Amino acid sequence: MKRAREAASLDDVQGKIRAVFFDLGGTLFSYRDAGRHTVALLVEAAARLGRDVEPRTAGAAYRRASRTCALRYSDHPFYLHRDLFRDTFRDFARELDRVPTEPFLDWFEDAQRTMLLETMTPRRDCLETLWKLRARGLYLSIVSNIDDDYLVPLVERWKLDQVLDAWTSSEEARSCKPDPAFFALAVAKARCRADRVVFVGDSPEHDIAGARAAGMTTVLLSEAGTTPPLQSGKTAVAADHQIATLSELLPLVE
């Protein structure tokens, strides 16, 4: 994937930390607004399947389907998220005692992507924090478990290419966090050692476990009232640091 700007040699950067990698959804971007719109989409999906259900019922069915698929995919070092999402949509329909058609799955896939691209917004302190980190000479990158048709439009819409050195999707890496190959590619792009990288993410299973195994300093961003998606529950790894806002990262990398 094309870099936002050429990564300069980091040999001249002072201090131990040379680079900061960020997860996208739940980290740089909040799921809070998207969550509300997701429930409305699920109710519409249920209606298209011939079921008139309350938002709570639709949400519970989708959470069960999501957990089932997360468990099924958790041992795969790489998968396209469009395949995972499509299987989740199938399981959602079955949770409602319906058999989904391919046209329904096509509609759901497109509707979900459109909804998320329109409703996911950067955290209030996202851009300010990124610019302050860049001013310190740090290499900044997104390392996201998502396909290109999600990641690239969000980078372009919010002009993150102006502040980031690179962004990498699991589709580009042909590897999904916590698989080591994804972290190895991100480090190779940054041209520094893994122990000079801080990884910031909201998923203990994908971000923290994978980055810690790769030798990075880990920072868990926890937002009250939200739960990271696609957790299988198999791995529980403590982060080196925990923050509630992105701006809390600044003193950690001084």
Which residues of the chain carry a pLDDT beneath 70?
1-15, 224-236
Structure tokens at 164: 């980031």
Give me the pLDDT at residue 1, please.
Answer: 43
Give me the pLDDT at residue 10, please.
Answer: 38
Decide: helix, strand or coil at residue 168: strand
Give me the pLDDT at residue 228, please.
Answer: 60
Give me the pLDDT at residue 223, please.
Answer: 76
Do 150 and 117 meet the contact criterion of CB atoms below 8 Å apart? yes
Name the β-bridge partners of 167.
142
Fold of 19-30+121-253: Rossmann fold (3.40.50)
Give me the pLDDT at residue 224, please.
Answer: 67
> What's the whole-model pTM score?
0.88
> Can you point out the beta strands (E) in the chain?
19-22, 29-30, 121-122, 139-144, 166-169, 197-201, 217-221, 241-243
Give me the pLDDT at residue 34, please.
Answer: 76
Give me the pLDDT at residue 225, please.
Answer: 60
Residue in 21, 25, 30, 27 with CA at minimum distance from that of residue 166: 21
